[in-house]
Amino acid sequence: MSESVVAAHPEHASQTTPSQPPVARVLRDLSVLTGGQGGDGTLTVSDLLARYFHAQGMYVYNSRSVLSRIRGGYAAASSRASVEPTMAQKALQDVIVAFHQDAITFGEKTLSADGFILGDEKVVTNPGQNTVLLPISITAASKLGNPLYKNVIAFGALSVLMGMDREVARKVVEQRFGRRSEEARAKNLSAFDIGVELAAKSPGPKPRFSVERGTAKDQVLLTGNQALAYGFVVGGGRFFAGYPITPATPVMETLMKILPQYHGVVRQAEDELSAINMTLGAAYAGARAMTATSGPGFSLMTEALGHAGEAEIPVVITDCQRVGPSTGEPTRNEQSDLFHAVFASHGEFPRFVLAPGFPQDAYDIGIQALNLAEKWQLPIILLLDQALGENMQTTPRLTLKGVSVDRGKLLSQEALDALAAYKRYEFTKDGVSPRTIPGMKGGQSQVTGNEHDEWGHVSVNVENRKMMMAKRMTRLRLAKPDLPPPIIWGDEKARVGFIGFGCTFGPIREAQGLLKRKGISSRFYQARTLWPVPIETLAPFLSSVDVVFVVEHNFMGQFARLIRSFVTAHNIESIVKYDGSSFVAEEIAGHVEQMMKEHASYVPSKTPIVTYESEGGGF
């Protein structure tokens, strides 16, 4: 295999080979689903498993499916661990932990043939095949005084049933709870021991299987939201204003912990209108500034987005997407805000829409966005999605390698002093004018959302208008070489292509592996810049294959449609999903096989691909 663009992350560059059938019950790739009542801490089991397997050198991918309520309702989390890099859920579960009958009712059909269920005796009314029933919550209540210890008890039991290294597992419990208080440490360790004991006494084989140890080194567990927050700090971000909203809140919460140490400011605003306008104010004043939200909040920021465009304020807006429209499904996964990100706000102005595909990508692009915003003096939208934002994944340790701060045409006082005249919106070749910040002597200016002349004074002069529009819009073209390039994964000679962005990264990579084993080799264009549409790399990619499957989590095939509006590509097929759940590799591979069967086989398109980049004013 080869990468057209140097892969930033060597462990992803190797072909993944997940979902291999369990060999002699030594698993190299497994998934554990824990299902229970919302708010009873079910996620804890998943978290402990992730930390254990992480400690064992495996690649971990945790995901969750919860309701938008605090307690009650069915909530589930899955923890996948694999010897090979993985960034997606597994189609089949090897273990189901049932704290609620629903975990069996909904989950059983995804249980692999060899899998087993660990059920809490108290709640499981209808145990399935292969179920180990233990008095988990009852023992938690009777021996530890609180049924919530059931999670750690279950983990203890799993350590026996899954053939885990007892000491490492116990240490994971200790590390997770030991910091809180001595009581928490002691009680949770007891809970673990109780679980071990209960399982040891249970009937049936123990362990049911064992798990191979991995060799992953220098990896950390992170979500995309967290990685982005760290990227923001390291990239020099010092001002953040937001308003709580699922699934974007963790960006704010992470920054609240770390940013004040750097004389940064994190504010929870009274609403998203305030958040974005505070962010604009801070950015104008010279701070590297960001806000993060999800669909509803992003929609509220629409007017200010255009303001940043017209006034030329460098600002980063993160949209961690959830299921829309409107309030939609706050806790579920979708990528349907793309059209909004690209086209929302009245009138026309330049913006970049960037989309990282995995946590380290969020860190990298987060840093880069801060540089790009200041260099090109415009708003940048980072499109994340619930899965990338909230799912904890194995990630190479974040480093400072290559990190630098480029403030573009922000003038120093010396450079300013050397000028004859300072005009905030001076016409320049690249459409970017020198910038000052308040406090600088002689840099006084008018910054405004009205159409303006070079000085920033209101103007409705038609010649000025034309030049100002050109000044702003040409950046969409000129900035292209600066924007995050795609990463092309897979076989250079393949005749089948994929295009995707964001959370579809993992499932597509894994689907490539599945297809390869069936003799279908493929190339995957991981789009990291979505707007301006990177036609200069997309067109050759489209030409290089017979058929391209654009895989995305929305109904309209938004990215496919967007691409089409710039090229006459006859070989694009959409694979979409918009039910709130995330793709698994098998689904994508299945779609591809199905479509390839239907169309007999795709042949090279006879019509050349024509690009239309210079519509209208021509950016």
Ligand X SMILES: Cc1ncc(C[n+]2csc(CCOP(=O)(O)OP(=O)(O)O)c2C)c(N)n1
Q: Which of 136, 140, 280, 515 binds another protein (CB under 8 A)?
A: 280
125 binds a second copy (CB under 8 A): no
346 binds a second copy (CB under 8 A): yes
CA gap 243, 275 in Å, rounded: 7
CA gap 58, 211 in Å, rounded: 10
Q: Which of 1, 5, 7, 67 binds a second copy (CB under 8 A)?
A: 67
> Residue 347 class from Cβ within 10 Å (0-12 exposed, 13-18 middle, 19+ buried)?
exposed
- Of the ranges 189-197, 394-402, 506-514, 608-616, which one interacts with a second copy (CB under 8 A)? 608-616
533 binds, among a second copy, another protein, ligand X, none (CB under 5 to 8 A by kind): none
Within 273-302, the residues that bind a second copy by CB under 8 A are: 294-296, 298-300, 302
DSSP per-residue letters across 593-607: HHHHHHTSS----SS
440 binds another protein (CB under 8 A): yes
CA gap 345, 129 in Å, rounded: 55
403 binds another protein (CB under 8 A): yes
Q: Output the six-digit token pair for 207.
A: 């362990």
345 binds a second copy (CB under 8 A): yes
302 binds, among a second copy, ligand SF4, ligand X, none (CB under 5 to 8 A by kind): a second copy
Cβ nearer to ligand X, comparing 190 with 446: 446
Q: Residue 458 CB, nearest distance to ligand X (Å)?
A: 13
Q: Residue 84 CB, nearest distance to ligand SF4 (Å)?
A: 40
Q: What residue ranges bind ligand X (CB under 6 A)?
A: 243-245, 272, 296-297, 300, 327
Cβ nearer to ligand SF4, comparing 71 with 180: 71
CA gap 149, 81 in Å, rounded: 24
Cβ nearer to a second copy, comparing 22 with 73: 73
Q: Residue 500 CB, nearest distance to ligand SF4 (Å)?
A: 36
Q: Which of 398, 496, 533, 539 binds another protein (CB under 8 A)?
A: 398
Cβ nearer to ligand X, comparing 276 with 539: 276
Q: What residue ranges bind ligand SF4 (CB under 6 A)?
A: 70-71
70 binds, among ligand X, a second copy, ligand SF4, none (CB under 5 to 8 A by kind): ligand SF4
Q: Which of 25, 71, 257, 570 binds a second copy (CB under 8 A)?
A: 570
Cβ nearer to a second copy, comparing 262 with 343: 343
Of the chain, the end-to-end C-alpha distance in Å amounts to 36
Q: Residue 256 CB, nearest distance to ligand X (Å)?
A: 16
Within 308-337, the residues that bind another protein by CB under 8 A are: 311, 326-327
- Of the ranges 79-87, 139-147, 194-202, 344-352, which one interacts with a second copy (CB under 8 A)? 344-352
Within 486-505, the residues that bind another protein by CB under 8 A are: none
Q: Residue 68 CB, nearest distance to ligand SF4 (Å)?
A: 11
607 binds a second copy (CB under 8 A): yes
Q: Output the six-digit token pair for 338.
A: 């793309």
User: Could you give the count of Cα atoms lying within 13 Å of 94 in the half-sphere of its Cβ?
Assistant: 25
Q: Residue 72 CB, nearest distance to ligand SF4 (Å)?
A: 9
Hey, is 486 helix, strand or coil? coil
Q: Are 255 and 228 in contact (CB under 8 A)?
A: no
Q: Are 385 and 359 in contact (CB under 8 A)?
A: no
Handedness of CA 499, 504, 506, 508 (dihedral sign): negative
CA gap 110, 93 in Å, rounded: 6
Contacts of 85 (CB under 8 A, 6+ apart): 11, 12, 14, 16, 59, 216, 394
Q: At what angle do helices 166-178 and 43-55 cross, to 10 degrees?
A: 120
Cβ nearer to a second copy, comparing 451 with 546: 451
CA gap 168, 359 in Å, rounded: 26
339 binds a second copy (CB under 8 A): yes
328 binds, among ligand X, another protein, a second copy, none (CB under 5 to 8 A by kind): a second copy
Q: Residue 406 CB, nearest distance to another protein (Å)?
A: 10
Q: Residue 62 CB, nearest distance to another protein (Å)?
A: 14
What residue number has its CB nearest to ligand SF4?
70
Cβ nearer to ligand SF4, comparing 71 with 109: 71
- Of the ranges 20-28, 202-210, 400-408, 605-613, which one interacts with a second copy (CB under 8 A)? 605-613
Q: Which of 91, 133, 148, 447 binds another protein (CB under 8 A)?
A: 447
Q: Output the six-digit token pair for 246.
A: 């699922």
568 binds a second copy (CB under 8 A): yes
Q: Are 515 and 496 in contact (CB under 8 A)?
A: yes
Q: Residue 565 CB, nearest distance to ligand X (Å)?
A: 29
Cβ nearer to ligand X, comparing 174 with 303: 303
279 binds, among a second copy, another protein, ligand SF4, none (CB under 5 to 8 A by kind): another protein
Q: Which of 7, 469, 478, 595 binds a second copy (CB under 8 A)?
A: 469
88 phi, psi to nearest 5 deg:
-155, 165
Q: Residue 226 CB, nearest distance to ligand X (Å)?
A: 20
Instruction: Count Cβ neighbours within 10 Å for each residue of 152-186 and write b for 16 or more, e otherwise.
Output: bbbbbbbbbbbbbbeeebbbbbeebbeeeeeeebe
Q: Which of 236, 490, 513, 557 binds another protein (CB under 8 A)?
A: 236
Q: Are 85 and 214 in contact (CB under 8 A)?
A: no
Within 396-425, the residues that bind a second copy by CB under 8 A are: none
CA gap 125, 148 in Å, rounded: 20
β-strand 93-98 against 572-576: which pairing, if any?
A: unpaired
What DSSP designation does 474 have?
Answer: T
241 binds another protein (CB under 8 A): yes
Cβ nearer to ligand SF4, comparing 68 with 302: 68
Q: Residue 592 CB, nearest distance to another protein (Å)?
A: 36
Q: Are 133 and 124 in contact (CB under 8 A)?
A: yes
Cα–Cα nearest to 156, from 116, 208, 183, 194 = 194
Q: Residue 246 CB, nearest distance to ligand SF4 (Å)?
A: 13
Cα 551 to Cα 45, 524, 583, 584, 588, distances in angstroms: 32, 10, 9, 12, 8
Q: Output the six-digit token pair for 311.
A: 């006034």
Contacts of 157 (CB under 8 A, 6+ apart): 118, 132, 134, 136, 195, 196, 198, 199, 202
180 binds, among ligand X, another protein, ligand SF4, none (CB under 5 to 8 A by kind): none
